[in-house]
């Protein structure tokens, strides 16, 4: 992972030098860097392409996508086109050579534009708090280079601010990776009890939940500066470990390698903020189970786990 990070850094410097002369080509090269990385680290039956738009079963089109990962069953004939069947796309990524706050803020809106094209799921907390489509932002570097700049704090704040304007947890971006800085992964708590909060906050959570319990979502940030982080940690390692885990929920054949990445520590240590959501974010069927405190804890690959493991 250190070697791959160094390669990404070298590519960033090369692309950055020519960006002012030919920004279009520089952007294309950055996208191809990320596509090549995903081709090398994802299983070979997950094809990776650049460019195109997603189309829903109703004929609705998404904005342009930079890099996408197809599900293994995607029809080979249709890979000749650059309009991709939404329910055949496993992941879509927006690529940035140099990330800034506007990119983070717009990621939330774009995530919804892509995810709304996939068929919504029902039946468990995981299925109703997440989308079948993984959406993220991949960047070589960032714009906060001055002394005393706080790039990690800036990205985290921009993410949190964007999330507060969301109207359903399903639409949130799943990850942001800045290869020379940090990695942000979305997480959820399926059944959070307001009584777990300090007494001064309980009424706030109950009001938002509309009940004593409800779901939380948020982002965990992992970086070299995180307390207790191992020296060999790299954000790009978190990216491949997290992406493999997300894919493995719907593709059990990937769970062995996803667990290996977890136990090998590729996730790294992290911390972050959360926000509560109304319990009405669930369907009536799941809501009734959550109100009865139905959840599991510590069971791998369980859709009713209190959090994604």
Task: For residue 308, give the nearest of 237, 256, 248, 253 by alpha carbon.
Answer: 248
Residue 120 carries which DSSP code? P
pLDDT tens digit string along 147-185?
A: 889 999 999 999 888 887 788 999 999 999 999 999 999
> pLDDT confidence of 19, banded at 50, 70, 90?
low
Strands (E), 208-249: 213-223
* Mean per-residue pLDDT, 186-197: 96
Q: Which residues contact 301 (CB under 8 A, 6 or more apart)?
A: 248, 249, 252, 255, 309
Place of tokens 């959406």: 135
Please state at what angle helix 2-19 crosses helix 235-250, rounded to 10 degrees. 110
Distances (CA, A) of 34 to 195, 217, 272, 291: 44, 27, 26, 43
pLDDT tens digit string along 103-155?
A: 999 999 999 999 999 998 999 999 999 999 999 999 999 999 888 899 999 99
Task: For residue 276, give the nearest of 176, 222, 203, 221 by alpha carbon.
Answer: 203
**Domain spans, the chain:** 2-291
What distance in Å separates the CA atoms of residue 254 and residue 272, rounded to the nearest whole number? 27
């Amino acid at each position: 992972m250190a070697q791959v990070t160094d390669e990404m850094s070298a590519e960033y410097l090369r692309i950055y030098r020519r960006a002012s002369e030919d920004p279009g080509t520089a952007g294309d090269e950055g996208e191809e860097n990320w596509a090549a990385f995903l081709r090398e680290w994802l299983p070979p039956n997950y094809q990776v392409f650049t460019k195109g738009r997603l189309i829903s079963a109703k004929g609705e089109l998404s904005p342009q996508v930079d890099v996408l990962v197809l599900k293994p069953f995607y029809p080979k004939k249709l890979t000749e086109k650059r309009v991709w069947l939404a329910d055949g796309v496993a992941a879509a990524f927006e690529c940035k050579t140099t990330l800034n706050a506007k990119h983070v803020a717009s990621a939330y809106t774009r995530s919804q534009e892509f995810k709304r094209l996939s068929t919504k799921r029902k039946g468990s907390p995981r299925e109703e708090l997440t989308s079948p489509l993984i959406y993220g932002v991949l960047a070589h570097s960032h714009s906060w280079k001055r002394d005393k700049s706080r790039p990690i704090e800036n990205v985290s704040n921009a993410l949190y601010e964007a999330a507060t304007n969301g109207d359903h947890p399903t639409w949130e971006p799943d990850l942001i990776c800045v290869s020379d800085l940090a990695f942000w992964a979305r997480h959820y708590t399926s059944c959070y009890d307001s009584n777990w909060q300090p007494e001064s906050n309980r009424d706030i959570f109950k009001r938002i939940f509309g009940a004593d319990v409800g779901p939380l979502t948020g982002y965990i940030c992992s970086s070299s500066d995180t307390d207790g982080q191992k020296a060999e940690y790299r954000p790009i390692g978190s990216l491949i470990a997290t992406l493999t885990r997300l894919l493995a929920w719907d593709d059990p054949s990937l769970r062995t390698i996803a667990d290996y990445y977890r136990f090998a520590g590729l996730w790294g240590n992290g911390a972050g903020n959360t926000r509560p959501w109304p319990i009405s974010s669930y369907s009536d069927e799941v809501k009734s189970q959550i109100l009865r405190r139905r959840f599991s804890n510590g069971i791998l690959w369980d859709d009713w786990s209190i959090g994604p493991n």
